[in-house]
Amino acid sequence: MSDFLEEKRREIQARMDELAEAVSEYERLKQALDALDGVTSGGSAGRARGGSGGGSGRGAGRPRGSGERSRQALDLIRREPGLGATDIARKIGVHPNYAYRILPGLEEQGMIEKRDRAWYPKDAA
């Protein structure tokens, strides 16, 4: 019986070793996708590659501030008004630069407002 168990352990470990690179790639791709959340192709990078970017300067992607991370940031600001962008980024698990990109989109939509260096729900005084 112990030979059978040891053989199964080796088989499982071997398969886990085979899958480790795929799991690592999945995590890298997930991080890249999260970083792209809210970014559209209509910015200056698109024009530099020869794209027109449209008359408004924004591409056909979803509006800024409409992705999952934006929803997380909005929920957090509603629960904890007065946080700065760096605190928001840390609490939702993104790089601060990313928070500085999504927060203005939420502000443009009238969902939040910035007072000094802190963010508040728009309906809060």
> Mind listing the pLDDT tens digit for each residue in 48-75?
334 444 444 445 555 555 578 889 999 9
113, part of any domain: yes
Please tell me whether residues 20 and 71 are part of one structural domain.
no
Residue 70 and residue 121 in one domain: yes
In whole numbers, what is the pLDDT of the chain averaged over residues?
78
Same domain, 27 and 81: no
Question: Whole-prediction pTM value?
Answer: 0.49
Domain of 8, in residue numbers: 1-35
**pLDDT at position 39, please?**
58
Catalogue the long-range contacts made by 61-65 (C-beta closer than 8 Å, 24 or more residues apart): 62/38, 63/105, 63/109, 64/38, 64/40, 64/101, 64/102, 64/104, 64/105, 64/108, 65/38, 65/102, 65/103, 65/104, 65/105, 65/106, 65/107, 65/108, 65/109, 65/111
What pLDDT does residue 53 have?
42
Is residue 53 domain-resident? no
Question: Are 70 and 31 within one domain?
Answer: no
User: In the chain, how many domains are there?
Assistant: 2
Do 69 and 29 lie in one domain? The reply is: no
